[in-house]
Amino acid sequence: QKEVEQDPGPLSVPEGAIVSLNCTYSNSAFQYFMWYRQYSRKGPELLMYTYSSGNKEDGRFTAQVDKSSKYISLFIRDSQPSDSATYLCAMSLPTGNQFYFGTGTSLTVIP
């Protein structure tokens, strides 16, 4: 079983839609949860960073962590064509700096 599971998609939505991206994980010791956005032929860009459970909002983006279900989500409101990218979830333990990444979900927002 992989440490982190992420549906690779691809996901295609019309402009203005609400997008939900999700990851599940197996290690209950994970405490830090991150979402990265990666445009084609670019490096991953840190979008959201959450510690432990709960929600965090930043503009059109909301990250949710449900540690009881070992499930994290990223919601994108009012999606834009510029949101078209691959979204990677990542998580890490309280100690150490090793990140465990999902495989990424490819998102296309159609104008």
Partner 1 sequence: SAVISQKPSRDICQRGTSLTIQCQVDSQVTMMFWYRQQPGQSLTLIATANQGSEATYESGFVIDKFPISRPNLTFSTLTVSNMSPEDSSIYLCSVEGPSSYNEQFFGPGTRLTVL
Asked if residue 61 binds partner 1 (CB under 8 A), the reply is no
Least Cβ distance, residue 42 to partner 1 (angstroms):
6
Closest CB to partner 1 among 17 and 24? 24
Q: Which stretch binds partner 1 (CB under 8 A): 12-20, 57-65, 77-85, 91-99?
A: 91-99
Between 37 and 79, CB nearer to partner 1: 37
77 binds partner 1 (CB under 8 A): no
- Rounded-to-integer distance, Cα 83 and Cα 95, Å: 32
Number of Cβ within 10 Å of residue 42's Cβ equals 10
Q: Decide if residue 10 touches partner 1 (CB under 8 A).
A: no
User: Three-state DSSP class for 11?
Assistant: strand
Tokens of 63: 């990250």
What is the 8-class DSSP label of residue 96? S
41: left (phi over 0), alpha (psi -120 to 50) or beta: left
Per-position DSSP letters for 29-50, written without gaps between them: T--EEEEEEE-TTS--EEEEEE
Q: Choose between 6 and 79: whose C-beta lies nearer to partner 1.
A: 6
Q: Which of residues 13-52 bind partner 1 (CB under 8 A)?
A: 32, 34, 36, 41-46, 49, 51
> Which positions touch partner 1 (CB under 8 A)?
2, 4, 8, 32, 34, 36, 41-46, 49, 51, 88, 90, 92, 97-104
